[in-house]
Amino acid sequence: MDRMKGKIAVVTGVASGIGKAIAEMFAAEGAKVVAADFDATGGQKTVDGIKARGGEGIFVSTNLRKKEDVENLKQVTLDTYGTITTLVNSAGVLVHAPFMEHTDEDYEKVSETNFRAYCWTMQAFLPVMVANPQQCSVLNIASISSVKPESNAYYYGAFKAAVDLMTRNLTREFSPQGVRLNVICPGPVNTNMTPQEVKNSPVIQAEMCKNVCSVGRLGEPEDIAYAATYLCSDEASWVTGAHFVIDGGACMMG
């Protein structure tokens, strides 16, 4: 229960889904969690749950599309805990439509949330990590859409691919300075991005999995959180620049 003991972990996108599961698992494993999300109600509920189970954390309402909010997230983290050891960028948005129906507004929303915000958080926190003698790491959540073509997710896949490559490129600069950077590319995970008709129907899920998951079920946020906990713990002290596809075999389905 102490795999993340001593870690100060900033996690974005904590109101639901993968970010929520990661924040909860980190806290259960001993981390002090700084939870960030645009959804203040959902984010605070996540932190309240962490505290109710004996964990430690704070919630910082953050619109990652505003640089001043990212700077505030950094300042609150430093004011509260004095440093940061772990950054997980999990916040994301999905626009699902034929390419010719993607709008300028879609581009801005996806690019700003799924790529630029990751750049801003890393620019804010990496200097603090470099100055910290502890084991530090960054984990960015990409997607199998960055490695496997997916119809109607064009902007989403493109910017997730950018996150994937940028993260691995950054290892060349920052890993020699003591910061590990890794990527997880989840497959079809049962989150708020999953269409409601799929979430509500085991029959539809089973039929869908015949085509997309060789394991035979959709992933759950906890499936990703287990890997995130490993990658951000000292157990992974020799892991950097890694690209983990966790998809229930989806990439093997053609």
Tokens of 132: 């910290």
Query: What's 59-117 look like in SS3?
Result: EEECCCCCHHHHHHHHHHHHHHHCCCCEEEECCCCCCCCCHHHCCHHHHHHHHHHHHHH
Active-site residue, 156 included: yes
CA atoms within 13 A on the CB side of 223: 17
Q: Which of 81, 156, 226, 230 is catalytic?
A: 156
Q: In angstroms, rounded to a whole number, what is the distance separating the alpha carbons of residues 106 and 114?
A: 12
Q: In angstroms, rounded to a whole number, what is the distance separating the alpha carbons of residues 50 and 36?
A: 14
Secondary structure percentages of the chain, helix, strand, coil, to 5: 50, 15, 30
Amino acid identity for residue 59 in this structure = F
Amino acid identity for residue 2 in this structure = D
Q: In angstroms, rounded to a whole number, what is the distance separating the alpha carbons of residues 198 and 184?
A: 24
Using CA atoms in the order 244, 231, 199, 145, what is the torsion angle rounded to 10 degrees? -30
Residues with catalytic function: 156
